[in-house]
Every structure is written in structure tokens, then in C-alpha cells.
Chain A
Amino acid sequence: MKTSRPFIFLMLFSLLFLPGCWNSRELRDLAIVSGIGIDKVPDSNEYRVSLQIVNPNAVAGSKAGGGGQGMLPSIVYSSVDHTLFSAMRKTSQKVPRRLFYAHSQLFIIGETLAKEGINELFDMYERSHELRLNTSVVISRGIEAEALLNVLPPLQTTSAVAITNGLKVASDTWARSLDKDITDIVKSLSGSGEPIISGVRVVGDPNKGKKRSNLEQTPPLANLEVKGIAIFTDGKLTDWLEGKAARGAVWALNNMKSTIVNMNCDDKKEKISIEVIRSTTKLRTVMRNGKPVFLIQVKEEGNLSEALCPINPDKREVMVKLQKQLADETKKEIELAIKTTQQKKSDVFGFSTEMERTHPKEWKKMKKNWPVIYSQSEVEISVEAYIRRTGLRIKSYLKSGDG
């Protein structure tokens, strides 16, 4: 037995080498996909899948490799097929490298496709081990998803990165959009509610945005803008929430991080601005007379950040008045959002889940007819607003007649 010991070691050693590096991929053989766009091919049931591939040489301004100048930071390839995954694979015919999806950050759905329904689009994401479930999802407004990927954005490497980052920042500070990822959408699609997805559009000429010249002037010929929130009925895009209605939806969804609310200063319109710094929303459902009633309770906190009229916040009644104004404004915006969604029979706020959780018996009866019940239900909104600080200054330097 002793003589066979080296032999055993040899066998074990070759076991290491014989299978080879089955899963090894060298970095320079990879095509890193940063964003995926999906459009409907007109008059057919095929999809056009567009892949935005980053050119690392042009992106990382590294000395190594010499080149970099003259190269575009990203290239978009697209293919048409009956399923998304096969269209993605089909793109391999055109791309000289192996497609690598683990770093794709953005999933864009063309507006035309969204209007026809998005229900089946996410199955591939849930099955694939390479695609990430925390990919942000947006809808391209008034343009094809492919065109959105084609835009060369200033300040960011690719349009996918620009949209992902822009959406995050805008949602956190301006609160008229929502950064929803695949998981969120699959969750609402699998329940009785509806998904809610932000829109992105191109400002300027999308065709000029494709060219390098887009980056050579300011303002750019084409730029990307996060705008509006799409609401869906039965998985089909039916309406857009804009401006204050969009913000109302963000509030109701408890996604409010920070925003600026403008309010009237006596007779001057919208001349006081409050920065909301903290806000929590609670949704509740109660049954009243056999009908569901939705309660939305908001608690928010803000700072006075600008007043274009002489006010004196060290007086209590002034602050109380401001707080009431803020609460009223908040309530108004939420009402606006609720009204629109009720009109479209789109329960984006998750009342269905809440209903199922708190009133399981009643829910069984309502389940089938939920969109209609939702659109007819009463919604009660209560807002508690508090203004914490007035910035570095208390009394405005502006002189007022009445002091």
C-alpha cells in the first residue's frame, strides 16, 4: 500500500488540472453590458432587445492600452426574437466578445411595449443567475428604449449609468420619481396591486444624442430627464402621474426622503419653500358599513429654507400657520395621486396587500373585483407636519409693513 501513496497524490493532483478552468473568463474577452432596453417590434409579437455595452478603454482613462481617444464609451447592439433571452443570446452574432450581464444596472421598457403590457417581461430576470434582481427599471417616454440607450450622456460614462444614478438622486431629493427595481415590480405584479415605474425621456434631438458631438457642446444637443411616474391597469400603462400628483404618490408609498414644497405667503403665490427632511407614511384599511376605507397617515418634518416675503418665524402662530400650510399641501398632493389612480383603477399603493393582511375574510370576496372596489373606496388622509428649523436665520431681513 505504501508505494501507491505517491500515485494517489498524482491522481488527486491531476484531478485539479484535468477538468480545466471550465468557468474561467478573462476580462478582456468580456463584453460588459450596462443596460438592457426592450421594445415591441411593430405588427409582430417579437421583442427587440438592445444591449448597451461599455467600452472599458474609453471609460477608464487609463494610460495602459494607449488608446481611448476617439472611441465611444458605449455601443448598443440589438436583436429581434420571440423571447427576450434568445434575443439577448442572438446578439452574440454581432458582438466580438462574450456578453456579460452581471453588471447591467438598468432595464428600460419602451413606452409602446408598456402600453401593451409588461406582465411577462420579468420571468427571465427571476431565472437567470447572471442578471440582477436589483436592476432599476424605467420606461422610456415617447421614444424607443433603444434610442434612450443610444444617447451619449455628459458627466456619466453611459446612458444606463446616467439614468440609474439620476433616478436615484432625483427620487431622493426631488421626490417626483421612484427608483423601483425588478424585485419590487415582480412583487406587485404577482399580487393584486399594480406596479409603478418612473419614466425617462430625451430632451432634445435623440438622433443628435447618438453622436460624439453631443458631448462637445453645452448644453448638450440631447439630454436625459427623469420625468413622471407611469401607472398601470392590468399590467398595461394607462396614465402618467406628473409633478405634484407624482409627488403625492411618492408620499403615499412612503418613499419620501426629501423634497421641496412651495407654499403661499399670504397673497404671494408659492413664495415660501420648505425642505421636507423626514417623512413616514402608514397605510391602513378599515371596514365601514361593509365597505373598505383607506387611511393614509403621514408624519413629516421640514425646515424653512427660503421665504421671499417678510415673515417672522420666532412667533409661534407664524410657525403653526406654516405647519398647517405644509400639511394641507401634502394632503392635497396625495389626494391628487389617489384620485388619478382610482380613475385608472390602479391600486399602486398596496392597499390590496394591506386588506388581505388585515381583513382576510372580506378580502376573499373582494379579490375578484378589487380594481373596481378600489376605485370607488373612500380614502382618508391625515397629515401631521412639523417644522423643525428655520435655517441659520430666524427673522427675515426683508422689512415688512406690519412687523
Chain B
Amino acid sequence: MMFSKNLYRNKKKIHQKTGDESGRGAKLFLSPVLADNLAHIQNELGNSPDIIVKLFEIGTSRTQAGAVYVDGITDKNMVNQYILHSLMLETHAGVSLEQDQNVLAFINANALTLGEVIVLKDWDSVILSVLSGNTVIFFESTEEALSGNTKGGEQRSITESSTEVVIRGPKDGFTESIGTNVSLVRRRIKSSNIRLEPFKIGLVTQTNVAIMYIQGTVEDSLVQEIRIRLQNIRIEALAGSEHLEELIQDQRMTPFPTIMNSERPDTATGYILDGRIAIFVDGTPFCLIAPATFFMYFKSVEDYYQRPEAAVIIQLLRYAALIISLFGPSIYIAAITFHQEMIPTPLLLSLAAQRESVPFPAFLEALMMEFAFEILREAGIRMPRAIGQAVSIVGALVLGQAAVEAGIVSSAMVIVVALTGISSFSTPSYNMALAIRLIRFGMMAAAALLGFYGIAIFSIFLIGHLCGLASLGVPYMSLSPYVPEDQRDTLFGQPLMTNASNPELTANSNRHVTNGEDAPSSSDSPLNHLNGSGSE
């Protein structure tokens, strides 16, 4: 694969401790003696107090058995009611465990009232199963164990996303649980073509990762590419989706994010329906979406929830804010130190009067103010809420008014910096806003050195860089192989009915045929319009 070579860069030396786990040859199997098994697992998990081992006898047959689970990540009610209760009481009328019968098969068929039960033979899978929140049951004189899915325990409930806020639209947000997250998307797409592929990443953490897409809608090569990238990851611990993003992105040397993330199920759903792939990582409420284009970062789901006329204006406003946050201070610096003739005379006189007493060159002044603003912003995020007011007072009064009155900065500069700061908040995606923030300083330096000429040079480099980026091999600036049909949605969020086609660069071309047959009738879900079944 053309992109997979990047992945090996992240390959780390496999740690000694985990060496035997990766060595597939030497598998350890269970012992037929129950006491040995229980002792082994306790030993293996370091006699941790939250490992609960419960010895009991099964119903009337008095077969010895032991259940092992980890307190806190299991649902205690499930363990008590569906495992211990049903096994110990064995209430099934007329059926009882005969001496010579296969214990496992009997229990599985008659006694365990759980939906998901699997048979385990080796220690690796037993331990992984226990640590994942399952309850493993060992039986006397049996070399196999049963694992029942009792995952549960305390979890954050589904709350509104705090990073991507909409006025009108669904209020649910992803949580830290991958199961919940997948279900939130599944609820929105009732298509049999939806595919979910699990991966386990991280030799130590064994983090659950899943990719979700609609078969037939997405280009198969993209799915294949992402599978390869995920399988090639050799890493001990996966910290979260941000970490994964870094491991699977196309290019390392760029400030721009090339894989989109979202905390909103409706955003993820929309992009999956578009023919993109969502990647869920257990333990983080942010799912990844690939391939991403530059323009996706300036779209908010809100654009689809409001009337298209208003949404277009708001999007234009967002792009204007992008221009301001990228060029604002640099244009000011360039105009004031190189191109004074471009400023209208009355404005020039007023600027000149303000700058008369400012002891620093315009670039230094801008840099100081931007720096102060960045500190203020960072402090605003990190500080405890209780001292928030103090920071805003210091920021507004000391850095703004007092600095102007003392003649250290000009008031025009305060306005420019404030406008730039506010503009950068209007980008819906925080990591894109961060990239722009970073580039702004380079732009300012270019403006201070060469004026508008410098801004032009820097912009050419910037555009060149952006056009060279790719996300899963799909061009990042989706304008340059230009597919006019795809761009209808870039700026102008059109009414749903006219917006039925999927992007050519990511979507499979024969998608209409496969989808039209399997999708439920259109009255079931309004999303079918997006799905393509309503078009033609």
C-alpha cells in the first residue's frame, strides 16, 4: 500500500514483559483442577483485591464451580442474578445435571441466562476476558471455562456534547464507552449494509477500536487502507483517539489535522452516510472520521439543521472569520509598516496619532499582544472555574485598557488582536483553529519582513502545502481534482432532497443499487434521503 510505510515509523520495541503474550506458540491451557485454576488466576492478576473469586456449588448436583470477575467494571446485578443465582439454584423444572454429562454444555444450554456466553480454553483469553469485564466460570474436573458478558459498572451517561454545541439538533453526545457510541450511530442508520469491524490496539492496554462504515457506500479501497493501517500499529498503549489519529494519519509534518474528529453521533452518522469511515476508540468520546477534507472542519452539523439560506450566510461568515484569524494581524502590520498609502487618510492620521507614543515597532507590538492573548486563552482553559473572574479582569483591564493608556500598545492593535481572537473561536473544529493559530504567527513574521509581498509568498507556500496533504490518500483540499458535483455541499448546504449524491472521491459508484434494496421503506427514517434510496 502506498501509505502504509508511514505507519512503521511508530513501531516501538516490544517490551520484555509482554513478550510471551505475543509469542503465539507457547499457549497455556487450563488445568482440570478447580483450585489450581482459581489460584493461578489470582496469582496472575497479582492478588488484586478487586478481583472477586466466588466458590459455589451448582444446584443439586453439587458440582464445584468458581466465578471470577473484576469489581467495578462488571454489572454486579448481572453477576448475582444471571450467573450466581441461576447456577446455584438451578431452578429449571425437571432438568438436572447428571454425573456423566458434559458440565459445560449443560450449563450453557440450561443454567446461564445470559445472552453472550463463550467457551475459553487458554489462559490468555481467560485473563483478557476477566479484565474486559466478563465473568469467567471455572468448573471442577473441566479444562474449559465459560465466560459470560457482564460488562457494566459505573459509566458516564449520555450527555450533550460540550465541544460541539448546536442550537437546534440532537442533544446526545458520545461517551467513553465504545459500545454506547456504536449504538448511538446504529440507532440512526437502520441499514443492513452497515459494517462494524473490531480491532484491539495496544499490547498492554488492549484497547477496543472499531471502524464503522456502510458497505457499498464507501469505496472499498479506503476500508482496506484503514484496515492495513490499524493492523500495522505496533504500540504498547493507546491513549485515545488523538493518539490513534497520529498513528494512522498520512503526513506527520503538518500543523493541519488530516483526520476529523467529532463528539456528536449525528456528525459521525452524516459522514458515514457520505461514504466515510468512522473509527471509535474505547475510552474516549471523540470518534475519528476519515478521509477528511479541509472544508469539513468549517462545517457544523448546525448548517443542516437550519434553513439553507441562513446556513449559507453563516458558513460564509465562518470563512470570513477564518480569513481574519489567519491574516488579521499580518495585514495590519503590513499596511502600517509598508503600505501606508493604502490606508484612507483620516484613518491613517488616527492610527499615526495612536502609534505616536508606542515605543515598539508594529510587529513587536502585535507579537506582544498576541502572546498575551494566547496566555490569557490558555489560562482560561486550564484554570479552576472559581478564579475565572480574576483572569478576565486582568485580561480586559490590564492587558487592554491599561496597556493602551500607558502608551505601550495602540488601541487599534488591541482591536485587531481581539477581533482575531474572536474570529478564531468561530471555527467549529478546535484542532483546526489551533493549526490556524499557529500559522498566524508565521504569517505575521512574513508581513513584518516583506509586507503584503511577504503575506503573498507565505500564502502561496501555505496553499501549496495544503494541496499536498492527503487524508487516507484522498486530497485534503478537495477542490483540486475538481469534481463540481461534490462541491455543491461545500459552501452551500442545500436542502436534503437535492443533496442526495455522495462525494465521488470517497464513495463507491454502484452504491445506489445495493442500498436501494436493503434499506427500510422511506417512511421509517428520514435519513434515507441521505442514504440515497430516495434519489434517482
Using a CB–CB cutoff of 8 Å, the interface residues on chain A facing chain B are: 16-17, 19, 21, 23-28, 30, 32, 34, 54, 56-57, 59-60, 62-66, 68, 100, 102-103, 105, 130, 157, 161
The answer to whether B349 and A100 have CB atoms under 8 Å apart is no
Query: Of residues 141 to 157 in B, which have CB atoms within 8 Å of A's CB atoms?
Result: none
The answer to whether B357 and A30 have CB atoms under 8 Å apart is no
The answer for the CA separation of A230 and B338 in the assembled complex, in Å, is: 39
Q: A59-B353, A64-B353, A65-B354 are in contact. Are A102 and B341 (CB under 8 A)?
A: yes
**Chain A residues positioned under 8 Å from B407 (CB to CB):** 64-66
Counting from the closest, the 10 A-B pairs by CB-CB distance are A102-B341, A60-B353, A56-B352, A60-B350, A56-B353, A65-B357, A62-B353, A27-B355, A65-B356, A56-B349
Pairs A–B under 8 Å by Cβ, sample size 21? A19-B449, A24-B337, A27-B352, A27-B362, A30-B352, A32-B352, A56-B350, A56-B352, A56-B353, A57-B353, A57-B356, A59-B349, A60-B350, A60-B353, A62-B350, A64-B356, A64-B405, A64-B410, A64-B411, A102-B341, A103-B341
Of the residues B341, B353, B451, contact of A24 by C-beta under 8 Å: B451
In the complex, what's the smallest C-beta–C-beta distance from A129 to chain B, in angstroms? 9
In the complex, what's the smallest C-beta–C-beta distance from A179 to chain B, in angstroms? 17
The answer for the CA separation of A53 and B90 in the assembled complex, in Å, is: 104
The answer to whether A30 and B356 have CB atoms under 8 Å apart is no
In the complex, what's the smallest C-beta–C-beta distance from B376 to chain A, in angstroms? 22
Of the residues A64, A68, A103, contact of B348 by C-beta under 8 Å: A103
**Chain A residues positioned under 8 Å from B353 (CB to CB):** 56-57, 59-60, 62, 64-65, 68
The answer for the CA separation of A64 and B412 in the assembled complex, in Å, is: 11
Using a CB–CB cutoff of 8 Å, the interface residues on chain B facing chain A are: 336-338, 340-341, 345, 348-358, 361-362, 404-405, 407, 410-411, 445-446, 448-451
Closest to B404 in A: A64
The answer for the CA separation of A57 and B354 in the assembled complex, in Å, is: 8
The answer for the CA separation of A102 and B338 in the assembled complex, in Å, is: 12
In the complex, what's the smallest C-beta–C-beta distance from B250 to chain A, in angstroms? 20
The answer to whether A30 and B340 have CB atoms under 8 Å apart is yes
Of the residues A54, A64, A68, contact of B349 by C-beta under 8 Å: A54
The answer to whether B348 and A62 have CB atoms under 8 Å apart is no
Closest to B350 in A: A60
**Chain B residues positioned under 8 Å from A64 (CB to CB):** 353-354, 356-358, 404-405, 407, 410-411
The answer to whether A26 and B362 have CB atoms under 8 Å apart is yes
The answer for the CA separation of A19 and B353 in the assembled complex, in Å, is: 30
**Chain B residues positioned under 8 Å from A25 (CB to CB):** 337-338, 340
**Chain B residues positioned under 8 Å from A62 (CB to CB):** 350, 353-354, 411
Closest to B336 in A: A27
15 more A-B residue pairs beyond the given contacts A24-B337, A27-B340, A56-B349, with a C-beta to C-beta distance below 8 A: A16-B449, A21-B337, A21-B449, A23-B338, A24-B451, A28-B358, A34-B345, A56-B350, A57-B353, A60-B354, A64-B354, A64-B410, A100-B340, A105-B345, A161-B345
The answer for the CA separation of A25 and B405 in the assembled complex, in Å, is: 24
**Chain B residues positioned under 8 Å from A59 (CB to CB):** 349, 353
The answer for the CA separation of A63 and B355 in the assembled complex, in Å, is: 11
In the complex, what's the smallest C-beta–C-beta distance from B143 to chain A, in angstroms? 57
In the complex, what's the smallest C-beta–C-beta distance from B417 to chain A, in angstroms? 16
The answer for the CA separation of A100 and B337 in the assembled complex, in Å, is: 12
**Chain B residues positioned under 8 Å from A24 (CB to CB):** 337-338, 361, 448, 451
The answer for the CA separation of A34 and B348 in the assembled complex, in Å, is: 12
The answer to whether B341 and A26 have CB atoms under 8 Å apart is no
The total number of A-B Cβ pairs within 8 Å is 92
Closest to B351 in A: A27
Closest to B358 in A: A28
**Chain A residues positioned under 8 Å from B358 (CB to CB):** 28, 64
**Chain A residues positioned under 8 Å from B338 (CB to CB):** 23-25
The answer for the CA separation of A161 and B337 in the assembled complex, in Å, is: 24
The answer to whether B357 and A66 have CB atoms under 8 Å apart is yes
The answer for the CA separation of A24 and B355 in the assembled complex, in Å, is: 15
The answer to whether B349 and A28 have CB atoms under 8 Å apart is no
**Chain B residues positioned under 8 Å from A105 (CB to CB):** 345
**Chain A residues positioned under 8 Å from B410 (CB to CB):** 64
**Chain A residues positioned under 8 Å from B449 (CB to CB):** 16-17, 19, 21
The answer for the CA separation of A59 and B353 in the assembled complex, in Å, is: 8
In the complex, what's the smallest C-beta–C-beta distance from B364 to chain A, in angstroms? 11
**Chain B residues positioned under 8 Å from A157 (CB to CB):** 349
**Chain A residues positioned under 8 Å from B445 (CB to CB):** 16
The answer for the CA separation of A32 and B353 in the assembled complex, in Å, is: 11
The answer for the CA separation of A229 and B79 in the assembled complex, in Å, is: 105
Closest to A68 in B: B353
Q: A21-B337, A23-B338, A56-B350 are in contact. Are A28 and B345 (CB under 8 A)?
A: no
**Chain B residues positioned under 8 Å from A100 (CB to CB):** 340
In this complex, the member of B336, B350, B351, B356 whose beta carbon has the largest number of chain A beta carbons within 10 angstroms is B356
The answer to whether A63 and B405 have CB atoms under 8 Å apart is yes
**Chain A residues positioned under 8 Å from B351 (CB to CB):** 27
The answer to whether A21 and B336 have CB atoms under 8 Å apart is no
**Chain A residues positioned under 8 Å from B350 (CB to CB):** 56, 60, 62
In this complex, the member of A60, A63, A161 whose beta carbon has the largest number of chain B beta carbons within 10 angstroms is A60
The answer for the CA separation of A225 and B348 in the assembled complex, in Å, is: 27
In this complex, the member of B353, B404, B405 whose beta carbon has the largest number of chain A beta carbons within 10 angstroms is B353
The answer for the CA separation of A23 and B452 in the assembled complex, in Å, is: 11
The answer for the CA separation of A28 and B445 in the assembled complex, in Å, is: 20
**Chain B residues positioned under 8 Å from A32 (CB to CB):** 345, 348-349, 352
The answer for the CA separation of A68 and B357 in the assembled complex, in Å, is: 12
Closest to B344 in A: A103
Closest to B453 in A: A23
The answer for the CA separation of A57 and B448 in the assembled complex, in Å, is: 25
The answer for the CA separation of A54 and B349 in the assembled complex, in Å, is: 8
**Chain A residues positioned under 8 Å from B337 (CB to CB):** 21, 24-27
**Chain A residues positioned under 8 Å from B446 (CB to CB):** 16
In the complex, what's the smallest C-beta–C-beta distance from B368 to chain A, in angstroms? 15
The answer for the CA separation of A373 and B160 in the assembled complex, in Å, is: 88
Closest to B347 in A: A60
In the complex, what's the smallest C-beta–C-beta distance from A164 to chain B, in angstroms? 10
In the complex, what's the smallest C-beta–C-beta distance from A168 to chain B, in angstroms? 14
The answer for the CA separation of A54 and B404 in the assembled complex, in Å, is: 23
**Chain B residues positioned under 8 Å from A19 (CB to CB):** 449
**Chain A residues positioned under 8 Å from B405 (CB to CB):** 63-64
Closest to A16 in B: B449
In this complex, the member of B357, B411, B446, B451 whose beta carbon has the largest number of chain A beta carbons within 10 angstroms is B357
The answer for the CA separation of A21 and B448 in the assembled complex, in Å, is: 7
The answer for the CA separation of A21 and B363 in the assembled complex, in Å, is: 11
**Chain B residues positioned under 8 Å from A16 (CB to CB):** 445-446, 449-450
The answer for the CA separation of A66 and B357 in the assembled complex, in Å, is: 9
In the complex, what's the smallest C-beta–C-beta distance from B259 to chain A, in angstroms? 26
In the complex, what's the smallest C-beta–C-beta distance from A104 to chain B, in angstroms? 9
**Chain A residues positioned under 8 Å from B349 (CB to CB):** 32, 54, 56, 59-60, 157
The answer to whether B348 and A28 have CB atoms under 8 Å apart is no
The answer for the CA separation of A19 and B446 in the assembled complex, in Å, is: 13
Closest to A59 in B: B349
Closest to A20 in B: B449
**Chain A residues positioned under 8 Å from B404 (CB to CB):** 64
**Chain B residues positioned under 8 Å from A21 (CB to CB):** 337, 448-450
The answer to whether B451 and A26 have CB atoms under 8 Å apart is no
